[in-house]
Amino acid sequence: MSEEFVKVKVFDVVNLMTPYGPVPAILLEDEQERILPILVGEMVAVSIKSSLTGQSSEGTRDTWELMHNIVAFCKGEIEKAVIYGIEENRFLAKMYLKHGSEMTEIECRPSDLIALAIRSGCPILISSELMDSMSINKSQLLRRGEEEDKESG
pTM here is 0.83
Domain range for 47 is 5-152
CATH of the domain at 119: 3.10.690.10
Span 88-95, average pLDDT: 95
Mean pLDDT score of the chain, rounded to an integer?
Answer: 87
Q: Provide the b/e sequence for 102-130 (b: ≥16 CB within 10 Å).
A: eeeeeebbbbbbbbbbbbbebbbbbbeeb
Q: In this structure, which amino acid lies at residue 91? A: F
Q: Which residue has the higher pLDDT, 63 or 106?
A: 106
Q: pLDDT at position 12, please?
A: 94
Q: Which residue has the higher pLDDT, 125 or 52?
A: 125
The phi, psi pair for 87, rounded to 5°, reads -145, 125
- As for how many domains the chain has, the answer is 1
Q: pLDDT at position 64, please?
A: 79
User: First CA to last CA across the chain, in angstroms?
Assistant: 50
